[in-house]
């Protein structure tokens, strides 16, 4: 169960012709998830900054 299914790094990338599909799906999905976290965290920081500015001025 824990033997790696591929022999070389090229085989991992190529996956007998299916590598393009597998890696495309995983890379875009990981990108979407990472972007979601990043954007949400950025927006929280921005809103906290805005609240602090309003608090300080008001």
Instruction: Quickly count: other Cβ atoms within 10 Å of residue 4's Cβ.
Output: 7
Burial environment of residue 31 by CB neighbours within 10 A (0 to 12, 13 to 18, 19 or more)? exposed
> CB of residue 22 vs another protein: minimum separation in angstroms?
5
Residue with the two structure tokens 């991992």? 12
Q: Which is nearer to another protein, 10 or 50 (CB)?
A: 50
> CB of residue 10 vs another protein: minimum separation in angstroms?
13
Contacts to another protein by CB under 8 A? 1-6, 12, 15-19, 21-22, 24-26, 28-29, 32-33, 36-37, 40-41, 43-44, 47-48, 50-52, 54-55
């Amino acid at each position: 169960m824990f033997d790696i299914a591929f022999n070389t790094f090229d085989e991992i990338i190529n996956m007998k012709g299916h590598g393009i599909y597998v890696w495309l799906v995983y890379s875009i999905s990981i990108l979407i998830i990472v972007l979601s976290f990043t954007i949400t965290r950025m927006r929280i920081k921005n809103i906290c900054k805005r609240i602090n500015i309003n608090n300080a001025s008001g």
